[in-house]
Amino acid sequence: MTRVHVPVLAGELIDLTAPAPGETAVDCTFGAGGHARLVADRLGPAGTLVCIDRDPAAESRFDELSAEVACETRFLRMDYADGLARLGEEGLGADVVYLDLGISSMQVDARERGFSYSYDAPLDMRMDPGQELDARAVLNGWDERQLAQIFRRYGEDPNARRIAREIVRRRSRASLETTGDLVEAIEAALPAAVRRRFGGGHPAKRVFQAVRIAVNGELDSLDRALPLAWDLLPPGGRLAAISFHSLEDRRVKRFLVERARGCVCPPDFPVCVCGHEPEAELLTGRAVAPTAGEVAQNPRAKSGRLRAARRIAPTEES
């Protein structure tokens, strides 16, 4: 059954970014529009909400939302990094930009899209079904070293090499076609004793995450998007991101902390010679996690982490 996506850390996102009547906001990851609806309500009839998503299924949800909210709305069906670049070229100034990373519940639950190890389905995992590269091409085409590298880097899987070896061994007999074939390969690569040693939930979880990140170029998009989003903000503008694993959260944290730094001279310099001034005030010290109550109602919120910052004018004290 396809569940409607429940927006994660929604109250916290609204409190921290405080969208106000008449402002312009950009939702980089529209999904089912849960966050977008709350933001639109704050923007009111004089506000503007630009929504981006590369999944065509999100676009039909956007049409419904657009008919129901008072603010001006616009949808860009493309990678959010490309969308932000386009908005920058158009000279848009945005008061609030936010990203809610990863995939939606609708995508996970649409069995035929192959995002979940819980259902047997074709190896797809594309957020944009028009994209050429899919999970089948990665798993049958990339060499053993490349596969081990993505399992390690994007899945942080301690068994990356074993699993890559088993996949390559199996595909020399017959190509992997379904998520079930991938789960079988992973299980065969990890005897019970190894699984017990590494623990940590379903043995396929990390590899599925890794393949999905590779297929959709998720970390590259995030790295490109953060500076483009920042450039849309005038002083006072707010940027927020909800991450679902440490690879994303680390990138968001590094980006915001760098902008919040003042002097970048080496610590042994007696006086500042860099003249570097902070551009950001952090709105979150530590990343904000969902409450136990939210996780009880929506277990998929569990790994969500929210970070936000406000852009400040160069001379403004933080």
Ligand X SMILES: C[S@@+](CC[C@H](N)C(=O)[O-])C[C@H]1O[C@@H](n2cnc3c(N)ncnc32)[C@H](O)[C@@H]1O
Instruction: Compute the least distance from the CB of residue 145 to ligand X, in Å.
Output: 26
> Restricting to residues 200-229, which ones interact with ligand X according to CB under 6 A?
221
Secondary-structure breakdown of the chain: helix, strand, coil percentages, each rounded to the nearest 5: 45, 10, 40
Nearer to ligand X among residue 53 and residue 157 (C-beta) = 53
Q: Pairing relation of β-strands 72-76 and 48-52?
A: parallel
Nearer to ligand X among residue 115 and residue 190 (C-beta) = 115
Q: Which of 12, 16, 25, 29 binds ligand X (CB under 6 A)?
A: 29
> Restricting to residues 120-159, which ones interact with ligand X according to CB under 6 A?
127
In this structure, the number of other CB atoms found within 10 A of the CB of residue 194 comes to 13
Instruction: Compute the least distance from the CB of residue 190 to ligand X, in Å.
Output: 29
Instruction: Compute the least distance from the CB of residue 137 to ligand X, in Å.
Output: 19
Interaction of residue 100 with ligand X, rule CB under 6 A: yes
Instruction: Compute the least distance from the CB of residue 63 to ligand X, in Å.
Output: 14
Q: Which stretch binds ligand X (CB under 6 A): 29-37, 62-70, 164-172, 285-293?
A: 29-37
Instruction: Compute the least distance from the CB of residue 311 to ligand X, in Å.
Output: 22
CA distances (Å), origin 144, targets 22, 172, 194, 203, 205: 53, 12, 20, 19, 19
Q: List strand residue ranges (DSSP E) for the chain, in order.
A: 24-27, 48-52, 72-76, 96-100, 238-243, 280-282, 305-311
In this structure, the number of other CB atoms found within 10 A of the CB of residue 77 comes to 17
Q: Which of 9, 19, 25, 33 binds ligand X (CB under 6 A)?
A: 33
In this structure, the number of other CB atoms found within 10 A of the CB of residue 89 comes to 8
Interaction of residue 31 with ligand X, rule CB under 6 A: yes
- The two three-digit tokens of residue 151, written as one number: 């399992």
